[in-house]
């Protein structure tokens, strides 16, 4: 298999965490909600996208990305009819979905077997950048015991991904405390599909 370096691994993780692929384009939805609408944070996020993420896409896949803000979301998408076929090949290399909302069909088996070292951390970091939350309401006991909430929409109906992700994190030494899946809870008080 070809080597997927840590930079590509992070981009693929971002795509798995929030990406939707449609024909010859994609969009990565970062649901930052109110947190991402803070003017100070907006500047930091925009700078990160326009420098680091754009540069990484350009260096790794030879196309640029831009962003849009709307409905408490940040959307990352390619510019100017980009050729995303090398990106699709890397998704295929890891047996990751290449069409639709990736979280709905993702299976981590091959990615877990193929990635190693810092590429594992980068891939998971990409997923977390799109799906994790560290808001103060997630503190358990005190600030020295943070809880990371990884928010996977129940609408994906992909519980296998949740189990695989928890298993992978356990293998890496991080214990899953609880799984709240597809039922109303503090994160989606009235809609289990969120």
CATH number of the CATH domain containing 55: 3.10.28.10
Answer yes or no: is 32 within a domain.
Answer: yes
Answer yes or no: is 34 within a domain.
Answer: yes
Which distant-in-sequence residues (6+ apart) come within 8 Å of 170 by Cβ?
Answer: 176
For residues 42 and 90, the model is more confident at: 90
Q: What is the pLDDT of residues 62-100, one digit of tens each?
A: 999 988 877 767 788 999 889 999 999 999 999 999 999
Structural domain harbouring 37: 6-171
Q: What is the domain count for the chain?
A: 1
Answer yes or no: is 48 within a domain.
Answer: yes
Q: Residue 51: name the closest of 32, 65, 31 by CA.
A: 65
Element (H, E) at 11: helix 6-18
Per the prediction, the chain carries an average pLDDT of 82
Answer yes or no: is 194 within a domain.
Answer: no
Answer yes or no: is 187 within a domain.
Answer: no
Tell me, what's the pLDDT at 102?
96
Which distant-in-sequence residues (6+ apart) come within 8 Å of 180 by Cβ?
Answer: 187
Answer yes or no: is 1 within a domain.
Answer: no
Answer yes or no: is 183 within a domain.
Answer: no
Is residue 147 helix, strand or coil?
coil
CA atoms of 27 and 9, how far apart (whole Å): 17
Answer yes or no: is 185 within a domain.
Answer: no
């Amino acid at each position: 298999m070809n080597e997927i370096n840590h930079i590509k691994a992070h981009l693929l993780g971002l795509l798995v965490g929030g990406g939707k692929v449609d024909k010859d384009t994609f969009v990565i939805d970062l649901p930052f909600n109110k947190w991402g609408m803070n003017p100070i944070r907006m500047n930091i996020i925009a700078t990160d996208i326009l420098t680091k993420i754009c540069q990484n896409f350009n260096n790794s896949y030879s196309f640029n990305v831009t962003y849009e803000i709307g409905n408490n979301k940040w959307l990352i998408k390619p510019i100017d009819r980009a050729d995303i076929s090398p990106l699709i090949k890397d998704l295929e290399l890891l047996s990751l979905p290449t069409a639709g909302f990736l979280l709905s069909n993702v299976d981590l088996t091959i990615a877990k077997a193929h990635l190693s070292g810092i590429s594992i951390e980068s891939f998971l970091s990409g997923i977390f950048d799109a799906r994790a939350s560290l808001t103060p309401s997630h503190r358990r006991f005190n600030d020295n015991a943070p809880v990371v909430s990884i928010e996977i929409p129940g609408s994906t109906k992909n519980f296998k991904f949740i189990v695989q992700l928890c298993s992978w994190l356990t293998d890496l030494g991080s214990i899953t405390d609880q799984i709240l899946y597809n039922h109303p809870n503090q994160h989606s008080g009235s809609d289990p599909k969120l």
